[in-house]
Amino acid sequence: MIMSIRYIPLVAFLLVCSLTSVMNAQDPLRDKLVVETLIRLKRFDVSDNEKLRGSVVRHMEIHKNTPKYVELARLFSIEQSIPELLAIAIEMPTANIGVKAMNTAISIGGIEVFEKALRTDDTQRTVALLQAAGQSPDPITTAFLLKYYKSAPRNRQVLTATALAITRTTNGQRYLLKEAEAGRLPAELTFAVGNALYNSADPEIQTRAKASIKLPATADFKPLPPIKVLLSRRGDPQQGKTIFFTKGTCVKCHKVNGQGKEVGPGLSEIGSKLSRDALYTSILDPSAGISHNYETYSLITIDGNIITGIKINDTDTEITLRTAEGIDKTTMKSDVDELIKTGVSLMPADLQRLLSVQELVDIVAYLATLTKN
């Protein structure tokens, strides 16, 4: 007698349960078979079966840091995967896998997971989490980001990242637009929010943003175009190189192939690390994305002197800051009254005032050529 098709799922499930008992508990092939069968049966709730759950978790481990891992975590709602999902989001916040990992972590553990992850002094981690969450279509996440922005995080990078995450939605854009029109938009957000709203898909938001948010002017007294417009222009790398080493004053803080000062990050391979979009942002809004180990500190001595620079040495007895001029200043810790991480880049935020729009485009064209050999 031929078995009725409607009984096949039940038989398959019983087979899976049998396999979990008779085969080696650490057998990867068995775990794969169990997981694939559970997916075919749409049997995703394994919370009440320790052996089935164990097979899923072990099979996930084989696929760590891959889209498969994220998908399995989502399908089976594996709570213990949340730390790994957040790690993926932090490592790749603007890639599909990072965004999906963040969305999955929130769907499994709730918005509280995201809120808890943001409670850290690690700025780079926080910014990455905000970038990933900003891509989420979940209205709960969007509402939380708005609430988080209103709590006014004082760190410049975190504030910028939060605002940019909010601008991913029309409601968020409208909120920031109203803040700008009311004169409540922080000055340090003018560039980032202005660029986002100038490129809004809503024509009304674009028009109102251009009336209320003014992007900085260049050396030729022309308003700086939005980054989207700059990206459409063609630059001359050779001319950009000349400007980089002269008028642009870039070598006062950066080294390229052995030339320049080591105040900011070396740029010999920057074209392999940053997109042209990111290069424009790093020049025009440097405090929005300070590289790790290049955060600026202000040291206040007991005598009231203030030294501002990048921390290059910190021992039990002394601390050394490198100033914007490339001078290393060492202070005994016994003489330090306060040390503050400013969240503001040593790099001037108004370099565009030294350059015409075309010169800026040329510099970025040159930087884009600085790649790994």
Question: What tens digit of pLDDT does each residue of 324-370 get?
Answer: 778 888 999 999 998 888 777 777 666 777 788 898 999 999 999 99
Q: Which of 35-39, 209-213, 300-304 has the lowest mean pLDDT?
A: 300-304
- Return the residue matching tokens 């501002």: 308
**pTM for the predicted model, two decimal places:** 0.71
Pick the CATH number of 227-286+351-368 from 1.10.760.10, 3.30.365.10, 3.20.20.100, 1.25.60.10: 1.10.760.10
Tokens of 44: 């995703």
Across 122-131, 197-206, 263-272, 286-295, least confident range: 286-295
Residues 6+ apart with CB under 8 A from 68: none
CA 369-372-373 angle, to 5 degrees, is: 100
pLDDT at 153 over 70: no
- Mean pLDDT of the 250-272 span: 86
Q: Is 372 helix (H, G, I), strand (E, B) or coil?
A: coil
Which letter does DSSP use for residue 73 in this model? H
Q: CA gyration radius for the chain?
A: 26
**Strand, helix or coil for residue 307:** strand
CA dist., res. 47 & res. 31, Å (int): 16
Architecture of domain 296-341: Roll (2.30)
Distance CA 93, CA 127 (A): 9
Q: Is 280 left (phi over 0), alpha (psi -120 to 50) or beta?
A: alpha
pLDDT of 10 reads 46
Are the folds of 227-286+351-368 and 296-341 the same? no
Residue 189 has pLDDT above 70, yes or no: yes
CA distance 57 to 104: 16
Our measurement of the distance from residue 108's CA atom to the centroid of its chain's CA atoms, rounded to an integer in Å, reads 22
139-150 helix and 96-109 helix, angle to the nearest 10 degrees:
90
With 0-12 CB in 10 A as exposed, 13-18 as middle and 19+ as buried, what is 234?
exposed
The C-alpha atoms of residue 138 and residue 108 are separated, in whole angstroms, by 13
Q: Which residue has the higher pLDDT, 306 or 330?
A: 330
* Cβ–Cβ < 8 Å for 195, 329: no
What are residue 256's phi and psi, to 5 degrees?
-130, 115
Q: What's the rounded Cα separation, in Å, for the pair 226 and 122?
A: 30
Summary mean pLDDT of the chain? 85
CB 75, CB 44: distance < 8 Å: yes
Percent of the chain with pLDDT over 90: 42
Q: Is 180 left (phi over 0), alpha (psi -120 to 50) or beta?
A: alpha
DSSP string, 165-232: HHTTSHHHHHHHHHHHHTT-S-GGGHHHHHHHHHT-SSHHHHHHHHHH-PPPB-TTSPBPPPHHHHHT
Question: Domain boundaries in the chain?
Answer: 227-286+351-368, 296-341
Distance in angstroms (rounded) separating the CA atoms of residues 218 and 15: 71
Length of the chain: 373
Check residue 22 and give its pLDDT: 46
Look up residue 100 and give its two tokens. 């999906």
Torsion of CA 334, 339, 345, 349, to 10 degrees: -100
**Average pLDDT of the residues in 181-196:** 91
Task: Quote the pLDDT of residue 23.
Answer: 47
